[in-house]
Amino acid sequence: MTLTRSESGELFQTSEKLIGLILGQNLIQSYVVIHCTKGEEYSVLKDLSHITEVKEANVIFGLYDVIYKVEAPNNTILNNIITKDIRKISHIISSMTLHVVTTRILKKSL
């Protein structure tokens, strides 16, 4: 993903966010970190690759084993993807979801 300088006064925005703003799309984005069974990281990664809403996934080092980015048009669909589709994947022990704050919400809070 490429970071670009924004004319709106924000220092950086991802190119996907800029395209979404131009096209009027407001996708809900979250990053999810997963702790999985030892040695099954790539198996989990492969299973995540079959879910359309998962836009990027990587094996990582540290407390968690896998991180992925998921996008959906609204919170209901995002909830269904995480609780129904992803929880069916074998070898996932635990996960933590980190919701991305949208630019619109961020501007209101400042």
φ, ψ (nearest 5 deg) of residue 67: -130, 140
Which CATH number does the domain housing residue 35 bear?
A: 3.30.70.920
The pLDDT of residue 27 is 84
- For range 77-102, the mean pLDDT: 91
Flag whether 7 is in a domain. Answer: no
Model confidence at 45, pLDDT cuts 50, 70, 90, reads: very high
In this predicted structure, what is the pLDDT of residue 102? 72
Residue 25 is predicted with a pLDDT of: 61
The answer to the question of residue 11 being in a domain is: no
Structural domain boundaries enclosing 46: 28-109
Residue 86 CA to residue 83 CA, distance in Å, equals 6
97, 99, 85: which is closest to 29 by C-alpha? Answer: 99
Residue 54 lies in a domain: yes
How far, in Å, CA of 5 to CA of 15, rounded?
A: 9
Q: What is the pLDDT of residues 11-44, one digit of tens each?
A: 554 555 555 555 546 689 999 999 999 999 999 9
Q: How many CA atoms lie within 13 A of 34 on its CB side?
A: 27
What total of structural domains would you count in the chain? 1
